[in-house]
């Protein structure tokens, strides 16, 4: 008998525009000592299944049909009061964000001991001993001392370990881990996944691992369930699903995952109904407005040269200079970018890679060092108008597609704004034509101009963002984590689009990402950043095959391997 059995589960969210079925007819079972991966793109209903098992659906969501059995006992009909004995005690949950799943005003000890005492009938001293023991098991050094500390005194990875200890504290039979490593850096992700795997084996736990990340599934899960729009479309052993997917959707999903072991030219196009925009189709650009910009030679030198760049932020203000505190986001980094290449910057959160982008574009002033772009010195003090002439050539695509577009403007005005501000079009007709062409070029079609940003999905918004950046006729495009907020199939489309645009418009790219497989697909050369330092710069293939610096070696060693 399986540990957990879900039979024909159906979850509905009644709303203003009719009833939305988030989960439809899903049947799934989890055995003891087994990790079942639940994978799918945003909105597929994978988290909803986890919440429905625990009866934690947000109102007005409800379990409309189906049964949930835990060890032969039906739990979907239990009252809220009876559920208290299931939640936390028999089924625990690990949430995505370790920053918010612990109570910041209580010590770790209080939170662990309180949980243990609620569910188990033991003395407080015994509970404390048990809590320390748990922290030790999840790999927290000096557990007896650290248990007295507050959540903010732990790093993100350590905090997620505490959350896991909390989930284990009452000896559950099943753990539902909802994107447990999504908020963590890649080196910590590997440790947490190993921990979950090890605990699953040693305690014979059942684990449901909800994630959007195929790499995580490939490394961790025994069986995979693939979800698409609320339906479970494929279920099987991990190796079989990854290597020989049966369903068209699974095939396209797996084709879209950037392989970590080799560079491919373009992501293969697998026909799905979900394609959000067409790719470039023989768009004749010769003599077009887009390629009519000023050209200037770099005289055989690099297009962008950064020397000894420093950026320091003031953290606290004080009247006396010596009382002010600073943080150095970038310490003395130097690199150059050749015309036409894609230079990658990779690093974990807080390594300063986004700051580099913002200093180059001039959003933040540099604290020290020099930057040369073609024949212009970007750091010298020039008038705003003169600066703008150079800056027009450097544009940026942002990470968050939801905050990078002004929600009160129509798409047409958003894309036209750079043309208007820089007076790049001779007439209103020309401007309208160029905007229509740009929208066509990024695969949205010119009808998009009349709509507002909220009518578009994340991937489509990112295309609008690209069209806006291209509207100044830039030569240098900075992509700051352009796909980290997107689903993997959309990511593949956007990355293909960027490559196509680069070829057609002879763009130079600075590509910033924390995602190593993506970097491998996109970049010619890569710089690795850590705590504001550039620790290694190398050709992409050299970097992945023979990393020199110990930090690069660690990064590449820990990245989830996904090879087809």
Partner 1 sequence: MDRIKRALDSDLFYSYKSSPLALVSSIVAAILIFSAVFAPLVAPHNPFDPGSLNLMNGFSEPMVPNAFTGDTFMLGTDDQGRDVFSTILYGMRISLFVGFAAVVFAMTIGIVLGLTAAYAGGRIDSFIMRIADVQLTFPSILVAMLVFGIAKGITPVHLRDQVAIWVLIISIGLSDWVQFARVVRGAALVEKSKEYVEAAILIGRGPAGIVFRHILPNVLSPVLVIATISLALAIISEATLSFLGVGAPPTSPSLGTLIRVGQGFLFSGEWWILFFPAMTLLLLALSVNLLGDWLRDALNPKLDD
Which residues here bind partner 1, judged by CB under 8 A?
16, 58, 358, 361-363, 384, 388, 391-392, 394-396, 398-400, 403-409, 417-418, 421-422, 465, 468-469, 471-472
In b/e form, how buried is each residue of 520-545, taking b as 16+ CB within 10 angstroms?
Answer: bbbbbbbbbbbebbbbbbbebeebbe
CB of 59 to partner 1, least distance (A): 9
Shortest distance, position 399 Cβ to partner 1, whole Å: 7
- Complex with partner 1: residue 44 or 469, whichever CB lies closer: 469
- Looking at the Cβ atoms of 47 and 250, the one nearer to partner 1 is 47
With respect to partner 1, which residue has the nearer C-beta, 214 or 419?
419
Cα-based angle 226, 228, 233 (whole degrees, multiple of 5): 50
DSSP-assigned letter for residue 173: S
For partner 1, which is the closer residue by CB, 363 or 542?
363
With respect to partner 1, which residue has the nearer C-beta, 52 or 396? Answer: 396
Compute the least distance from the CB of residue 481 to partner 1, in Å: 11
Q: Are 4 and 206 in contact (CB under 8 A)?
A: yes
Angle between helical axes of 488-505 and 458-470 (0-180°, round to 10): 20
Count other C-beta atoms under 10 Å from residue 321's C-beta.
Answer: 6
Please report, for residues 164, 230, 558, the alpha-carbon distance to residue 167 in angstroms, rounded to integers and kept in the order given.
5, 27, 25
| β-bridge pairing 476-480 and 394-397 | parallel
* Nearest approach, Cβ of residue 140 and partner 1 (Å): 34
CB of 263 to partner 1, least distance (A): 29
| Contact residues for 37 (Cβ-Cβ < 8 A; gap 6+) | 209, 211, 216, 217, 220, 221, 223, 224, 225, 238
How many whole angstroms separate alpha carbon 207 and alpha carbon 340?
47
CA-closest candidate to residue 487, choices 185, 183, 39: 39
Closest distance between partner 1 and the C-beta of residue 55, in Å? 18
Minimum distance of partner 1 from residue 26's CB (angstroms):
23
Contact in structure between 177 and 210 (CB atoms under 8 Å): yes
Report the Cα 141 to chain-centroid distance in Å: 29
- Using the minimum distance from each CB to partner 1, give the nearer residue, 324 or 561: 324
Q: How far is the CB of 288 from partner 1 (least distance, A)?
A: 20
Return the number of the residue (134 or 290) whose C-beta is nearest partner 1.
290
Query: In this complex, which beta carbon is closest to partner 1, that of residue 27 or of residue 422?
Result: 422
Q: Closest Cα to residue 291, out of 135, 503, 112, 122? A: 503
């Amino acid at each position: 008998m399986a540990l957990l059995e879900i039979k024909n589960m159906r979850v509905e969210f009644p709303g203003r525009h009719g009833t939305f079925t988030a989960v439809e007819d899903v049947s799934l079972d989890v055995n003891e000592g087994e990790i079942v991966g639940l994978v799918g793109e945003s909105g597929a209903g994978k988290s909803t299944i986890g919440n429905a098992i625990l009866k934690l659906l947000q109102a007005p969501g409800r379990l409309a049909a189906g049964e949930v059995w835990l060890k032969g006992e039906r739990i979907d009909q239990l009252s809220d009061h009876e559920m208290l004995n299931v939640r936390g005690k028999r089924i625990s949950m690990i949430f995505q964000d370790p920053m918010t799943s612990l109570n910041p005003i209580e010590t770790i000890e209080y939170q662990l001991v309180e949980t243990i005492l609620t569910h188990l009938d033991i003395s407080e001293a015994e509970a404390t001993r048990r809590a320390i023991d748990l922290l030790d098991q999840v790999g927290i050094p000096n557990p007896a001392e650290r248990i007295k500390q507050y959540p903010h005194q732990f790093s993100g990875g350590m905090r997620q370990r505490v959350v896991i200890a909390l989930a284990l504290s009452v000896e559950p039979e099943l753990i539902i881990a909802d994107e447990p490593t999504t908020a963590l850096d890649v080196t910590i992700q590997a440790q947490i996944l190993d921990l979950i795997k090890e605990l699953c084996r040693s305690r014979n736990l059942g684990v449901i691992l909800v994630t959007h990340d195929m790499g995580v599934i490939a490394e961790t899960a025994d069986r995979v369930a693939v979800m698409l729009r609320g339906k479970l479309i494929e279920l099987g052993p991990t190796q079989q699903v990854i290597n020989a997917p049966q369903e068209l959707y699974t095939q396209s999903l797996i084709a879209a995952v950037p392989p970590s072991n080799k560079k491919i030219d373009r992501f293969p196009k697998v026909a799905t109904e979900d394609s959000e925009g067409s790719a470039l189709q023989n768009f004749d650009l010769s003599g077009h407005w887009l390629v009519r910009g000023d050209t200037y030679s770099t005289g055989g030198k690099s297009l962008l040269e950064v020397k000894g760049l420093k950026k320091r932020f003031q953290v606290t203000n004080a009247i006396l200079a010596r009382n002010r505190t600073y943080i150095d986001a970038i310490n003395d980094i130097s690199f150059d970018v050749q015309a036409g290449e894609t230079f990658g910057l990779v690093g974990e959160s807080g390594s300063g890679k986004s700051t580099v982008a913002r200093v180059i574009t001039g959003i933040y002033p540099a604290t020290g060092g020099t930057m040369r772009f073609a024949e212009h010195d970007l750091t010298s003090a020039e008038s705003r108008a003169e600066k703008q002439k150079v800056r027009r050539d450097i544009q940026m695509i942002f990470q968050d597609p939801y905050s990078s577009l002004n929600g009160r403007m129509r798409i047409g005005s958003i894309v036209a704004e750079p043309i208007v501000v820089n007076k790049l079009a001779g007439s209103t007709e020309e401007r309208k034509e160029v905007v229509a062409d740009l929208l066509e070029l990024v695969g949205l079609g010119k009808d998009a101009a009349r709509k507002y940003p909220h009518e578009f999905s994340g991937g489509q918004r990112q295309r609008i963002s690209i069209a806006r950046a291209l509207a100044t006729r830039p030569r240098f495009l900075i992509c700051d984590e352009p796909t980290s907020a997107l689903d993997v199939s959309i990511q593949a489309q956007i990355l293909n689009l960027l490559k196509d645009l680069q070829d057609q418009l002879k763009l130079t790219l600075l590509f910033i990402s924390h995602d190593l497989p993506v970097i491998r697909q996109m970049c010619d050369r890569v710089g690795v950043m850590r705590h504001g330092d550039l620790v290694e710069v190398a050709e992409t293939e050299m970097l992945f095959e023979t990393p020199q610096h110990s930090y690069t070696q660690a990064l590449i060693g820990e990245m989830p391997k996904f090879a087809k």
